Chains A and B, each alone.
Chain A
Amino acid sequence: MTTWFITGASSGLGAALARAVLDHGDNAALTARNTGHVQGLVGKYPDSALPLRLDVTDHGQVVDAVSAATERFGAVDVLVNNAGHGFRAAVEEAAVDEVDELFATNFFGPVDLIKQVLPQMRARRSGTIVNVSSIGAPRSNPASGYYTATKAALEGMSDALNREVAPLGIRVMVLEPGAFRTDFAGRSLTQSHTVIDDYAGTAGKRRKENDRVHGTQPGDPDRAAQAIITTVEGEQAPFRLLLGTDAIRIVRDELQGRIDEI
């Protein structure tokens, strides 16, 4: 039986994936900063679901969570680095501490988790690491410079990692979701305290109070979860998995634009 370790399992894509994995009959370590939010699933699957309190920016908690999941289920077969959040600010508007927090959550935390699961995956010569990125990695928007930077960093690192661990029997995948009906544009989105008037027409339009996409995104998280399970179980997983029809259109346009520029 496959054991999944899913960060940020309390809401959005992480919660949908957690539910789908458990419905599928697999084991899942469900991590969240507040495990109260995953208790419903744990109540339904007391034997196969393990709630773990985890703030991915806390190294001690990362170590403890991976070892608790490994002890309970014998192994972590699939790590899903899903925890993360958006941040809206023109490049000039962001404060150092805001950017540090974003990088800690979206990049350095996932890297820490990867480093914690790799020794056991190498020992077994098997395992899958799934890093949830975004179409924001290939495509930059106003106000999303720092978010894009964290996701592009995660993808760049994942690409090298994939080449380093493939010979050791370990797979690495990057997910690039488009817009899904999750809490991404709601609770999961932060923005800079500083606002500079010159950016009102660009970054300002994408600040939370002006963003109208919340609740109307085209993507269904449950369908994304099924696609992730099918892909992870499949023999021929792509390195990058685009999720959502908008993602396919946007990324294709972006990459074509880059080729044309060369």
Chain B
Amino acid sequence: MTTWLITEASSGLGRALAEHVLAAGHQVVATARNTSALDDLQAAYPQTAMVAPLDVTDPPCIGAAVTAAEEHFSGIDVLVNNAGYGYTVADEEGEDEAVARLFATSFFGPVAVIKATLPGMRRRGAGLIVNISSVGARITIPGGGYYSAAKAALEGLSGSLRKEVEPLGLRVMVVEPGSFRTDFRGRSADRSRVRIGAYDQALGRTDAPVLRPAARRTGQGGGRDRAGRREQ
């Protein structure tokens, strides 16, 4: 039996992973900013599921969640950095605050969770760190610059981390999902309030209130994306 810590396990890929790991008989520390969406998991697996509040952009919160997880299950075997969201904007339109928030959630947060988890893994000489990246780290589209930057940063760091911790018995993996039926293009998407018309064509933006097929796929949240862009 292994113990997994999964960030933002309340929806999408994180939620699906938590359910499958629990169903397979393993232990899961399921974290989320809002843990109410995890109550049912806790109820279904009272012995093997542990729910912990965790905002990866809040450093004290990270230490508390990792410590609680290690005490409850005597160690974390697999860390899954799943928290993250999309941000679609031309590079010139990027707003400092929004870009900072994106990097805090998609890069600096995961790095902080990794740093909090590493001492325990090194002590045991075993552990696996899984960083959820995206095909967007390699394949960039107009409007995806900051998102690609954050994911490419995470992958670049993971490459070095792997070489640093392999001799200590630890493994590092990067996962690059394509398009999945998650909330990514709905609730998990952010767009800039700044809009420069010169980029409308490159980003496929149109003011026509048309719902394209791609938008329908994601449910109610996706309805806001009138451009019907593909996002990674």
- Chain A interface (Cβ within 8 Å of chain B)? 90-92, 96, 99, 103, 107-108, 111, 114-115, 118-119, 122, 136-137, 139-146, 148-161, 163-165, 167-168, 198-199, 201-203
Contacts and interface: CB of A to CB of B under 8 A. Distances in A.
Q: Which of B90, B103, B156, B157: most chain A Cβ within 10 A? A: B156
Nearest to A100: B108
A230 B149 CA distance: 28
B222 to A, nearest CB: 21
Contact of B91 (A122, A143, A161, A167): A161
Interface string B158-181: 111111100110000000000000
Interface residues of B, number: 49
A201 B115 contact: no
23 contacts: A91-B157, A92-B114, A96-B59, A107-B153, A111-B91, A115-B91, A145-B159, A148-B156, A149-B153, A152-B155, A153-B152, A157-B91, A157-B146, A157-B148, A159-B140, A159-B148, A160-B143, A161-B91, A167-B201, A198-B122, A198-B168, A202-B163, A202-B164
Interface string B55-77: 00001000000000000000000
A140 B166 CA distance: 14
A91 B155 CA distance: 13
Contacts of A160: 91, 140-145, 148
B118 interface: yes
A182 B91 CA distance: 31
Nearest to B129: A91
Nearest to A162: B140
Contacts of B90: 164
B133 to A, nearest CB: 11
Contacts of A146: 157
Nearest to A160: B145
A143 B160 CA distance: 7
B149 A164 contact: no
B202 A164 contact: yes
B202 A167 contact: yes
Nearest to B159: A140
A158 B114 CA distance: 27
Q: Which of B91, B108, B202: most chain A Cβ within 10 A? A: B91
Interface of B is mostly: helix
A64 to B, nearest CB: 18
B218 to A, nearest CB: 22
Interface string B171-212: 000000000000000000000000000110111000000000
A148 B145 contact: no
Contacts of B164: 90-92, 142-143, 145, 199, 202-203
B137 A163 contact: no
Given A145-B161, A152-B155, A163-B142, A91 B198 contact: no
Nearest to A140: B159
A153 B160 contact: no
Nearest to A92: B118
B92 interface: yes
Contacts of A107: 149, 153
A150 B153 contact: yes
Q: Which of A140, A163, A164, A203: most chain B Cβ within 10 A? A: A164
A163 B202 contact: yes
Q: Which of B92, B137, B151, B199: most chain A Cβ within 10 A? A: B92
A115 B163 contact: no
B91 A155 contact: no
Contacts of A92: 114-115, 118-119, 164
A201 B146 contact: no
Contacts of A201: 167
Nearest to B145: A160
B148 A164 contact: no
Contacts of A96: 59, 108, 112
Given A145-B159, A153-B149, A164 B203 contact: yes
A150 B198 CA distance: 28
